[in-house]
Amino acid sequence: MLKLKASTLSIILLLLCLSVFSTAQRSAKNNTSLWKTLNGDPPLAVARGGFSGIFPDSSMTGYTLALITGLPDMILWCDVQLTSDGAGICFPELTLNNGSDIEGLFKKSSNTYLVNGVSRTGWFSVDFTLDALINVSLTQGVFSRSSLFDHSFFQIVTVEDVARQLKPPGLWLNIQHDAFFSQQNLSMRSYVISVSKSVIVNYISSPEVNFLRSIVTRFKPSPTKLIFRFLGQNDIEPSTNQTYGSLLKNLTFIKTFASGILVPKTYIWPLDKDLYLMPHTSVVLDAHKEGLEIFASDFANDVPFAYDYNYDPVAEYLNFIDNDNFSVDGVLSDFPITPSEAIDCFSHMDKNNSGPAIPLVISHEGASGEYPGCTDLAYKQAISDGADILDCPVQMSKDGIPFCLGSINLIERTTAAQSLSNLVVNIPELNAEGIFSFSVDWSDIQTLKPVILHPYPEASLYRNPRNKNAGSFVALSDFLALANNATSISGVVIRIENASYLAEKQGLGVTDAVIEALSKAGYNNKTSKKVMIQSSNSAVLIKLKEGKNNYELVYEVEEDIRDALNSTILDITKFANSLVINKNSVYIRNFGFLTGATDVVSKLQAFKLPVYVQLFRNEFFSQAWDFFSDAYVELNSFVVGAGVDGVITDFPGTANKYRRNRCLTLGKDTPSYMTPVGPGSLLTVSDTQPPALAPSPILEVADVTEPPFPSVAAKPDTDNGTGDGASAPPPKQPSGQAKLVAGIFLSNIAIILATVLLI
């Protein structure tokens, strides 16, 4: 057995004492409905290598975090490898070099072996004694995950270490390569029989038939369950020389030596070539018919999965455990907090239960995570998803029609670059080059196709490709009519930006157009819908306040701030009723980790100003590591932890589902997986800290003071409607500088077109 170093023990004690997740605050598992599992019990969450989505796989700290943040009956998974002296260690791979620093410590100790007939080279556990591994440190084996913990010395641990020191509710040993160890004169059979006499082993799995058949008689009288693990359907099982796909058709045979099966999740819900779900197979029902439990593997929050789930990992789990046809008996996950909350908080929810009114769910360009933003389909989806407030960022066409679009630059949200490239201009006042809405008549804008926005192409995270050009653009008048007719919508928010420029340079009065549209739509006196008007320009809100209307005026603080002076807040109260701030103004983020929290929310609320926070997205790339690549953990930390009044989101369905989950109503019995995170908690575990960043500024009076709102000038007499201060690229390039600007723009166009065409 390895002797844990003091640093590792202190880390464990630290995690156990974190107030962010209290093991004493765990609810009983959800028994609100008869589960469609084999025995009618709730499905199990199995932590693969502990919390391996955050900490190095099979580290004691990863195992500990899984227990702290998971269900009361969390199962810890250990991939067992044998050392040359027969010790059983937990490590995810047969070779130790991907997942530890062994290569640097033993530079000349690599070896080559045949594994299932295939030559593999690396640092194998069979070439080292247990004592030789005492100074080897575990590292993150998935390169897309944070490597910050790689230098914190997470020691390789044995099966006995995990069982005796952590005393988990359940322990699962996976034996992946029994045949290989037998070739090295090491008996995995003898090891698992021996270890099961000293510690409780609840599950033993293997993809090798002969191994399970060799131990079945020894474990029949015990509570240990044997699970046959299926690999790829075309992979060959070495004992029978059959494919796993063919073995799947003979579950009666599997039943002779196993009480359950473990299958990749695609065995149950296969995907087509475009990563969309196909109809589910019958494998769960077939297994249950044979009296076999069935577990699903390959769950991770930080990898792309079926587009049908819209980057919502809880939605994926629910599709396996809470549907009208079946439920698997357990799931194997790198992020065990997420199946825990899916099982206990989100399953079997009453679809007619609207949930609490907090937080206010405000759409961002409608359901722009599923459809191109500000289209009729995006708005209808947001209504269906349960948004409270529907938003319209107003732009003006050349002929003065106000319409909804997320950017004044048509290139960013439409196919304008493909058909209107002659209207490209560079406008210094807008700090942008593009094709602008005020240069194009509304009738011509309507001929364009919308384009779904992909915020994170650098992470290869693309939004629903089938909907990339779906929907139609919506005039403000049509938007207001749609919202007014939606009984579930409590109000609208109209976002006004660039109003001063439009008034002075383009002769377009966007504020007047908004007021007129609201009046014509009956929002002044004929509807109970709340009207919110949002702007980052205080002069716009001051102008609107002079109209003595009942609108809620919302001031948007565009930059990240760490504080706001009382005098600044008092000044804001003169022209605004509420504020929109960024997520980084609530929790301080550095290199992907939370380092602290501000008191901006509570300070603003002390002046009776509701605080709405933006921008929430399902994609894990948008979330700090502390939120475990889980949109619900993030939402909960802002709503319960920071007390925000509303959330602005591309995925209103996720926010609405969050506030409807049953765990929010449990009070002192709230489980750990629905408890806000503690900013900075993860970083305390790391011996390496990210470099310090300059602090965000304090919001001062000068930051919210704008020149008086200008009068609307006469419309410019130009063909392209660009007005003063704009320049269109000439057809010929008279100078190197002009050529450079045009070249940059064409490069941008090429990138945009390539993105659109490739998706």
Angle at 301 between CA 263 and CA 171, to 5 degrees: 55
The top-scoring range by mean pLDDT among 394-398, 693-697, 726-730 is: 394-398
Averaged pLDDT of the chain: 90
Beta-carbon contacts of residue 251 (< 8 Å; ≥ 6 apart): 261, 286, 287, 290, 292
**SS3 (DSSP) at 435:** coil
Q: What's the rounded Cα separation, in Å, for the pair 341 and 630?
A: 10
**SS3 (DSSP) at 334:** coil
Q: What is the pLDDT of residues 378-419, one digit of tens each?
A: 999 999 999 999 999 999 999 999 999 999 999 999 999 999
Instruction: Cis check for the bond before 615: say yes or no (omega within 30 of 0).
Output: yes
DSSP conformation class of 674: G
Q: What is the pLDDT of residues 320-374, one digit of tens each?
A: 999 999 999 999 999 999 999 999 999 998 776 666 678 999 999 999 999 999 9
Q: What's the rounded Cα separation, in Å, for the pair 306 and 317?
A: 12
Q: Is 728 exposed, middle or buried (0-12, 13-18, 19+ CB in 10 A)?
A: middle
Closest by CA to 386, choosing from 406, 367, 365, is: 367
Residue 531: other Cβ atoms inside 10 A: 22
Q: What's the rounded Cα separation, in Å, for the pair 706 and 499?
A: 12
Q: Which two tokens stand for residue 214?
A: 């060799």
Residue 23: other Cβ atoms inside 10 A: 14
Contact 668, 375 (CB under 8 A): no
Q: What's the rounded Cα separation, in Å, for the pair 523 and 525?
A: 6
Contact 422, 737 (CB under 8 A): no
Give the rounded percent of residues in the chain with a pLDDT score beyond 90: 82
Closest by CA to 380, choosing from 459, 242, 509, 481, is: 481
Please report the pLDDT score of residue 304 as a whole number.
Answer: 87
Could you tell me the pTM of the whole model? Answer: 0.91
Contact 529, 492 (CB under 8 A): yes
Q: Which two tokens stand for residue 516?
A: 């007129």
Contact 532, 555 (CB under 8 A): no
Above 60 in pLDDT, residue 745?
A: no
Q: Which two tokens stand for residue 99?
A: 């997942």
Above 80 in pLDDT, residue 747?
A: no
Above 70 in pLDDT, residue 569?
A: yes
Contact 616, 633 (CB under 8 A): no
Per DSSP bridges, beta strands 552-556 and 578-582 are parallel
**Among the listed ranges 47-51, 218-222, 345-349, 652-656, which one has the minimum average pLDDT value?**
218-222
Average pLDDT over residues 142-171: 93
Beta-carbon contacts of residue 241 (< 8 Å; ≥ 6 apart): none
Angle at 294 between CA 314 and CA 193, to 5 degrees: 120
Contact 562, 697 (CB under 8 A): yes
Q: Which two tokens stand for residue 7?
A: 């640093």
Above 50 in pLDDT, residue 686?
A: yes
Q: Which amino acid is at 702?
A: A
H/E run at residue 295: strand 293-299
Q: What's the rounded Cα separation, in Å, for the pair 98 and 103?
A: 9
Closest by CA to 256, choosing from 286, 228, 231, 232, is: 228
Closest by CA to 495, choosing from 390, 379, 575, is: 390
Average pLDDT over residues 696-701: 97
Binned at pLDDT 50, 70 and 90, residue 29 comes out as very low
The more confident residue out of 401 and 746 is 401
State whether the Cα torsion 170-280-302-82 is positive or negative: positive
Please report the pLDDT score of residue 679 as a whole number.
Answer: 92
Q: What is the pLDDT of residues 32-76, one digit of tens each?
A: 457 999 999 999 999 999 999 999 999 999 999 999 999 999 999
Q: Which amino acid is at 759?
A: I
The more confident residue out of 758 and 386 is 386
**Which residue in this structure is represented by tokens 């409780």?**
200
Q: What's the rounded Cα separation, in Å, for the pair 270 and 282?
A: 11
Q: What's the rounded Cα separation, in Å, for the pair 654 and 311?
A: 10
Half-sphere exposure (CA, 13 Å, Cβ side) for 152? 28
Q: What's the rounded Cα separation, in Å, for the pair 83 and 104?
A: 19
Q: Residue 101 to residues 63, 95, 135, 137, 721: CA-CA distances in angstroms?
A: 20, 12, 9, 6, 62
Per DSSP bridges, beta strands 593-597 and 698-699 are unpaired
Q: State the DSSP string of 361-393.
A: EEEBTTBTTTS-TTBHHHHHHHHHHT-SEEEEE
H/E run at residue 172: strand 170-174
Instruction: Cis check for the bond before 72: say yes or no (omega within 30 of 0).
Output: no
Backbone angles phi, psi at 260, to 5 degrees: -165, 170
Q: Residue 448 to residues 318, 372, 411, 441: CA-CA distances in angstroms?
A: 38, 12, 11, 11
Q: Residue 714 to residues 366, 504, 516, 721: CA-CA distances in angstroms?
A: 33, 8, 19, 12
Please report the pLDDT score of residue 152 as a whole number.
Answer: 84
